[in-house]
Amino acid sequence: MEALLFNASGGYLEGVLRGFKAGLITQSQYSNLTQCETIDDFRMQLAATDYGTFLANETPPISTSTIADRATNKLVDEFNYIRSNSVQPLTKFLDYMTYAYMIDNVVLLITGTLHERDTHDLLERCHPLGKFETMATLCVATNVEELYTTVLVETPLAPYFRDCLSAQDLDDLNIEIIRNTLYRSYLEDFHAFVLSLGSPTSDIMSPLLSFEADRRSINITINSFGTGLSKDQRAKLFPSMGRLFPEGTSALARADDVDQVKAVLDGVVEYRSFLEGGSSSGGGGGAGANDGGVASLEDHFFQYEVGLNKLAFLQQFQYGVFYSFFKLKEQEIRSLTWIAECIAQDAKDRINDL
Amino acid sequence: MSLMGYSYYSTYGIVAYLTTVTISIAALYILFTGDGTQFNPGAFLEQTSPYAFALVGVGLNIGLSVIGAGWGIWVTGSSILGGGVRAPRIRTKNLISIIFCEVVGIYGVIGSIVFSAKLGSSPTQATLYTTANYYTGFSLFWGGLTMGCCNLLCGVAVGISGSNAALADAADPALFVKILVIEVFSSILGLFGLIVGLLVSGKAAEFAVSHIIPWFGIMMGLR
């Protein structure tokens, strides 16, 4: 029945969004880009795609971070266009998407303040989609209670902070705990909202959000090996949703090494191959990180996520396409940055590890 | 979500429950006070003026057809507008979808014109409540309702598939003709409604007239 009324509020935006999606870089364009010799070449090739002349005003030599910044700005422009033209409940949906970036920004600012970094510098490094007013005043807070009562209570992130007011002081470990607790509350809230929208939005979004929750759980588990994080604390950080919940997450909470994690992942068919490359060290095609096994896990995650996002476009009349498009666009920016880095560093043999 | 499910059931359930209770109480009251024969559908049908039935039928026909056409047009139109932002070439081709929706409205107009040609005036009660007039009244009502509902659903169907066609065309031009075939099948539904409606009302005689009002008679080809 959603087809009957969806177009009244979302039809135009869905059409515009699908137009944007048609402008994502294709396989053949990627192969053209990988054959570029210099960054200027790269820029010329990009000019032929939907990116157009977005780098026109930069003087050479262009650094890869500039490319990433400009591409992100383009993403932000598209997002703002869609958000400004949207009505409820699409507006609320898009706002939920920005909360994830807000959480990252807040944590970035707190960390930076702790380490006495310059506030302007920090503000520039914040992700533009997660900007909100009063962000600058975050820099003066020194502990979570003050943070909450003075600044955050007016932002949409306020309900997510309720769960982590028990964190005592801010230090590096606790920052991550705060970040993960916030993110967990956010994911559960988003999931509840999506389910209230009914099908087909919930049909599309639920697997995407579940996968995100599982990915977080797995990452938290693997990253907490060897740190001082107790198992109870770890268990509290897992979102109570996703395909690994509840048996998988309780098993992950008790896991001590990668093999146990692998045993847990075997329970879900699609996740089984994620840790395959992990047992051999320095797995081929690793994305250049120190730990080849974990890096290829990230690759698997990205691949699976891209697959899910592409599936979202097969259905019309739902909001999942908005979420998927922006995730795909981010992935594209990551790929472009990767290619640009390879060109800049003359490491052409790694260039195909997209 | 469970909370929302509960409250949804509650509103709908309460309304249904209250309606059933009210109707039962009214029915049982009539029954037990000896007026049971007041509930007489046959008398209702006999005593309602055939004009009422006929005119409601005409109104339903055109009204529901236009709702269907309008619904289809806004569903398709918003998608064409959205898809046309990045792929302007789809604008002209996809007007076909809008035309299919519009045709549904035209079916409704045709039906209504044919029906209204059967309306006449009957001067007295005796000449009004004849079997021929009853038949005309009923057939125009049900024919109009049939045509109206068919056109409503046809318009919605064409609209939704037209919206899909627009977005598919924006993504890949080769798809448009294939989806257009689906739309053609959708628009045949409206044609079915028109045919059935015309057949149903085909045998209906005009309302019995003893004086012929001049301009009306001229309009009908005074015989």
Task: Please give the Cα distance from A326 to A231 (Å, whole number).
Answer: 34
The alpha carbon of residue A61 and the mean position of all alpha carbons in its chain are separated, in whole angstroms, by 29
Q: Does B65 touch chain A (CB under 8 A)?
A: no
Does B7 touch chain A if contact means CB atoms closer than 8 Å? Answer: no
**CB-based contact, B90 to chain A, within 8 Å:** no
CB-based contact A16 B85, cutoff 8 Å: yes
Candidate ranges A39-53, A124-138, B16-30, B115-129; pick with highest mean pLDDT:
B16-30
- Phi and psi, residue A335, nearest 5°: -65, -45
Q: Which residues contact A121 (CB under 8 A, 6 or more apart)?
A: A112
Residue, of B97 and B86, whose pLDDT is higher: B97
The whole model's pTM is what? 0.77
Distance from CA of A187 to the nearest CA of B (A): 15
CA angle B111/B112/B113 to nearest 5° reads 95
- CA geometry: angle at A212 spanning A208 and A218, to 5°? 140
> Is residue A240 within 8 Å of residue A220, measured between CB atoms?
no
Q: What is the pLDDT of residues A49-69, one digit of tens each?
A: 766 666 666 666 667 777 777
Q: Percent of chain B beyond pLDDT 70?
A: 89
Across the interface, do B82 and A20 touch by the CB < 8 Å criterion? no
Buried b (16+ CB within 10 A) or exposed e, A80-98: eebbeebeebbeebbbbbb
For B163, which of A11, A17, A20 is closest by C-beta distance? A11
Whole-angstrom distance, CA of residue A184 vs CA of residue A202 = 19
**B75 contacts A15? CB cut-off 8 A:** no
Q: What is residue B140's predicted lDDT score, i.e. its pLDDT?
A: 92
A13 touches chain B (CB under 8 A): yes
Residue A235 has pLDDT above 90, yes or no: no
Search chain A and give the residue with CA nearest B158.
A4
Over chain B, what is the mean pLDDT?
A: 84
Q: What mean pLDDT comes out for the span B127-150?
A: 89
Between A141 and A310, whose confidence is greater? Answer: A310
Instruction: Give me the residue from B71, B79, B156 closest to A15, CB to CB.
Output: B79
**CA angle, corner A71, sides to A67 and A73, nearest 5?**
120
Instruction: Give the nearest partner residue to A12 out of B4, B81, B156, using CB atoms.
Output: B81
Q: How many CB atoms lie within 10 A of CB A3?
A: 18
Find out whether B61 and B108 touch, Cβ atoms under 8 Å.
yes
Report chain A residues whose CB lies below 8 A from the CB of B4.
196
CA B218 from chain centre, in angstroms, equals: 29
User: Which pLDDT score, from 0 to 100, does residue A54 have?
Assistant: 65
ipTM > 0.95 (yes/no): no
Q: Which residues of A touch B87 (CB under 8 A)?
A: 19, 22
- 3-state class (DSSP) for residue A287: coil
* Contact with chain B for residue A8, Cβ under 8 A: yes
Interface touch B87/A22, C-beta < 8 Å: yes
CB atoms within 10 A of CB A247: 10
Kindly state whether B164 is in contact with chain A, defined as any CB-CB distance less than 8 angstroms: yes
HEC letters along A220-274? HHHHHCCCCCCHHHHHHHCCCCCCCCCHHHHHHHHCCCHHHHHHHHCCCHHHHHH
Element (H, E) at B172: none
Enumerate residues 6+ apart whose C-beta is below 8 A from A49. Answer: A23, A25, A29
Dump pLDDT digits (tens) for A149-165. Answer: 665 666 666 666 665 55
pLDDT of residue A281: 32
Structure tokens at A149: 């009562």
* pLDDT tens-place string over residues A180-206: 877 888 888 888 888 888 778 888 888
Give the lowest-confidence range in A248-257, B83-92, B206-215: B206-215
Q: Is A11 on the interface with B (CB under 8 A)?
A: yes
A66-88 pLDDT, tens digit per residue, is 777 778 888 888 888 888 888 87
Are A177 and A105 contacting, i.e. CB atoms less than 8 angstroms apart? no
Q: pLDDT of A288-332, one tens digit each?
A: 333 344 456 777 788 888 888 888 888 778 888 888 888 888 888
Rounded (5°) CA angle A22-B95-B195: 130
Which residue in chain B has the smallest CA separation from A189?
B1
Token pair listed for B70: 């309008």
Q: How far is Cα B97 from Cα B154, in angstroms, rounded to an integer?
A: 12
Angstrom distance (rounded) from CA A223 to CA A237: 13
pLDDT score recorded for residue A140: 60
